Structures are given as C-alpha cells and as structure tokens.
Amino acid sequence: METTGTLDEALLRLHRSGPEFQGYLSNHGPMAVEAMVRRGHAPAVHRWLDDYATRLEDAPRPHAPLTDATWREALGDPSRLADWVAYFSRLTAERPWRDVLATWWPRLLPGIAGAATHPAIRTGHAVRALLTDGEDAPRVAELAYALGYWAARHVPLPVDVRPSGDAEPRDVLPALPRLADTHLMPLKGLALLPGTPGWPEAVASVAVPTRPADVPAALAALVEAATLHYGERGHGNPVMLVHAATAPNAVLRTLPALPEEQWIPSLTVAWAATAALTSLYSAGTPRPLPAAPGLTAEEVFAEAVAHGDAHVVKFADTALDVAAAAPDGDGRALAAALNAVRLIGQGED
C-alpha cells in the first residue's frame, strides 16, 4: 500500500503540470517516480519530486474538444496537447484501458520519434504500473496523459524500415553510420538519415521473428544490445543516447497488454527508433566499459537515485531489467548504468 499509494500521490501531483516545459523539454517526472517506486525507493519519491517540480509548468489550456471524427486533423499538433489528454481521459473513462491501448497503439506507434521518444517511454511506464499494481484512477489517468502526449507529438520516422536480414542488433548497432554532429536536434537529425550512405541497408539487415511468440525475446535482445552499447559509446551524447535503450524497453513492457498481432510491428518500429537514435547520438569510437566495482543491482539503482537526474534513473531502471534477465545477472549492464551516472550532469533535461 505504501508503494502504490506513493505512486498514486506522485502522479496526482504531476498531473497538475504539463508534459513539457521551456517549450520542448519533456516532463520526466511520471517516468522517474514510477521507476523509483518499482525499485524500492518510494520513500525518496516526494523529496525528489519537490525539487523536480520547481522546473515544471502548468498544464496547457484546451482549444476545442476532439472527437472520433476529428482526431486525425490534430495528430502531431502540439498545440492540441490539452485536447488530446482530455480525449484520452474520456476514452479511458468509457472503455477498458486495454481496449483503448489496443485501438490506439497501431495508430501512435509509427510516430514513436515524437518528442525524442519520451511519449512512448511514458506510455511504457504507465502500462507497467497498471499491469503490476492494478487499475485505479491515477494510473489510468497517467495512461491517458501519456497517450495524449504521444498523439500531440506524433512524428513518423523518415523511412519505412522493413528488416529482412539475419543479423543481431548487438552486431549492427556498432556498425551503423554516424552523423558527424552529435548535438543535432532530433527532428533535424532524423531528416538526414534516409540520405546517409549505408544507413537504410544496415537497418534492414536485422532479423525479425515471423512468430509473435518470439518477439519478447527479440525485443529483450534489442534492449540488452542498446544498453551495453551505451556503456561503451554513451559519451557521444550521454543524455540522448539513453533513449536508444529506454524506448524499446517501453515497447517490451507494453507487449503483455497488446494483442499478439501487434507484437511484430512493435518490434520493427522499436528497432528503427533505436537505430535512428544510435546513428544520431552514439560516439563513433568506443571506450572500455568501466567496471561495476562489486555493486549489486540494488546498490547501482541507489547510486542513480542519489545522482537525481531523471535520465540516469530511467536508464538504470532499464539496465536492471537487462541484468535480471541474464542467467547470473549482467555486470556489464550494471556498469553501463554507472557509466550514465558518471557521464550525465545532475539536473540535465
């Protein structure tokens, strides 16, 4: 009760704020507090939020209600953000949240690149809370906020990625072409990818399962590859490259709530997003992965919480998933999480 009560209280506080601040920075609060609660740090949530909330802004004002007949004209329009949240709040009040998610996931999934994948990541955290803790008003409301944010910031990837090879993500990620300017804004960088020599061919070389039953393992392998890749190449852009791992993990966390026919397309889009972020923000030259000096997974996550940056917390949360899935735990994943602690400045957005 302490855990779920803390999460619900934090979500209610955060729902008074908008999903962005300073024009385009994402509100990471709902994602970070869900990860902290999930990893046993509920007592630290409100203290962390007291500090984080000082940078947030009030929720935007609505313009005009959206309907089932008019939503298409507002897809990808950030000025309609409040209208989208109200629309999804109404949908989730009228129908089971799983039905709403199943209907809207295939519509929103192609726009995973919007807001640097933050809306999709927020959706993954919201779904994990619902699946793990059960359904109640603040958690369903959080899903509505996440989906509304995604719809308002919906940005399709610039190329239709259709993987048809036999390569593994762990082999392809280091070989992807890199753009010279690692500080490109996401939209500008994405637009350059189709014309980047070798990029479409490299992305298409990855194997995708033909059976939905094989998708969870393939997605887990993608998350693992992106997490370990960050450990060696996160210094290219320490904040932005985090999302190459946390975005596909959000998709993986959402799979159990989706119909199986949506699993293969979900993997394909997750891979495309990870590949795009890797080409934009990964360092071209690796550095040896710093060792995790005998720390347990719990101690590594505690280091992330003590650091305080939301990106560090969310990446550590994903790294712990990777470590837990390994037969004896994966020290490399924990070391990658500690690398984020070292590389990312406190309070970065």
Res. 346: pLDDT tops 90: no
pLDDT in tens, 265-291: 999 999 999 999 999 999 999 998 877
198 torsion bin: left (phi>0), alpha (psi -120 to 50), beta (else) = left
**Structural domain spans, the chain:** 2-152, 157-349
Q: Helix (H, G, I), strand (E, B), or coil: what is residue 339?
A: helix
CB atoms within 10 A of CB 141: 20
The alpha-helical segments, DSSP class H, found in the chain are 2-14, 29-38, 45-52, 81-94, 97-108, 118-133, 137-152, 169-172, 186-192, 199-204, 215-233, 243-254, 263-281, 297-307, 310-325, 331-343
| pLDDT over 70 (residue 182) | no
| Residue-wise DSSP of 196-251 | STTHHHHHHTB---SSGGGHHHHHHHHHHHHHHHHHHHGGGSTTGGGHHHHHHHHH
Give the pLDDT of residue 1.
46
Query: What pLDDT, on the 0 to 100 scale, is given for residue 176?
Result: 95
The angle, 0 to 180 degrees and rounded to 10, between the axes of the packed helices 137-152 and 29-38 is 140
Q: Give the predicted TM-score (pTM) of the model.
A: 0.96
Predicted local distance difference test score (pLDDT) of residue 186: 73
The predicted-structure confidence for 12-67, as pLDDT tens digits, reads as follows: 999 999 999 988 899 999 999 999 999 999 999 999 999 999 999 999 999 999 99
The interaxial angle of helices 81-94 and 137-152, nearest 10 deg, is 140
* pLDDT score of 67: 96
Give CA–CA dist 213/228, Å, rounded: 25
Q: Contacts by 194-197 with C-beta closer than 8 Å and gap 24+?
A: 194/158, 194/159, 196/279
